[in-house]
Chains A and B, each alone.
Chain A
């Protein structure tokens, strides 16, 4: 299987789906000649023209609004919001409009649209260009929330997202764009609500998403040499959530650690813990459930501070060792 980058995987999904379905178009800022802030749509203007690669003024609320309008009349818009942080500008259109219409209109309107949004820290972009806001979106019934961690998942999940009849928030971690992975050529889809067990293990269940899956995997490989076998589950879609896979894993390992880059308070780690504590897995726990998350701070600019704001490999390693040792 050929190895391609996360960016290339996303672009190949966009390209293939636009070739297959003429209702699909992309709308966003600087997505034409510039190729988007992270180069995701590079070269697509040449292939699809400016009627399907629609470059907009800097008007984020109306980019989402336009996508909503096009979706309800039968198109399949993909809106690119340059940085996930800018979705805060668009919350009315995402939360009050896109998320509500199917329900509020008694099932008679469908809003098949995708909002692609690069999130996460690590690029020195500071407080307004580095956030992980997935929990915010998870709290709005009507939205689906997808956070792919590999090129393979990115392509398969994006194809599913474009074909889904609901508004899908597709969160791409900026540090993953250049990472490589095996991606088959041609079409394949990954269903929503199906977690992927990224690593089998028996000693501890880690649930994680985005860049943190990669970090956890690196740590897990090192610890395996010492005989600590960690299971790593990537839900891939936070809404809908594959609770069963997580429950079954915790039943097997008896321990849970949730790792996410998003801030701790009311973060989705709490949701996973609630799922476990109210499920049949609760009786199998032999240690307190733990979470390792971004600190409750805005992302700082300084490199040292930025690293300190979100979990790093050394933090993950320390936390795994502590849980396995029975320190809590």
Chain B
């Protein structure tokens, strides 16, 4: 069955006599037991809930994994993965990372016995690996510079050193990229993004193949209690159904927008894997089925970038990405604000970077919106010159 069919053809309500086509929302905390000494399939929603179970099964299937676990947010999912490590273990992570992930690694895990080394995965990763490395962690395309990392090569490297590879697949979704098939051990998603697609749920997912890792993750989900609730699971299940359709349109729109920006005088650089000159494009095409719909660009001036973001009318200034609504943000002030300035500078996260998440609105409307916003933005320095004259 093709991917878009698999999105719709799954057991929505296993064992349910009524056979509803949409999964029921089991908005219940507890389940009655027949026996006082033996449990049935469900006893308490922290440990397992039928709506969440259908969702987890479907996400696993779409990623080609054995088991999936859904959490209250992407960060809860990533945190659960890091619980597989023990004090003394090390993480080697790519240096272009979502700010929240950086914060987890550098302010919560550090000081609790788990250190992280950040490497530009284009350079020499291997030298950062030590006998204590237990987890190699990467995003590709990275957020927000859209740098491409070779998943297969990273997997081989990690395995050679007895470490697991975890890939954050949020910018692609399983429709475009399947890290498990490329050798990764763990895939994480901020399901808030493309999977849900409608800006209405925060959720996270972890997908694995190895049964022992799965067992450990279940212990964490149950023991720490951050599993996704039934109503949110229902909304996520519903959003998933149009994943392929939404992404098809989002990518079409994103390419047109990236082209438009590439030719604009006020734009100094565009980052988008769909553009012919994007670094790592060949590598990206070899491991994915599309360029996605996150586009970043630089203007050379923070003031200009800010003006553009505040002048758009259809692109809302919001964090997050992957929704049917188009959005615009300045990562330096928003999604990556939790990365300290000296670290941001070291990894060349430009202050003037503007990140677009392209939605499914009419592309002509979107381009017209960017056009008027760009037109209205003027470099501060010009005004100073005019004043000086």
A binds B: no
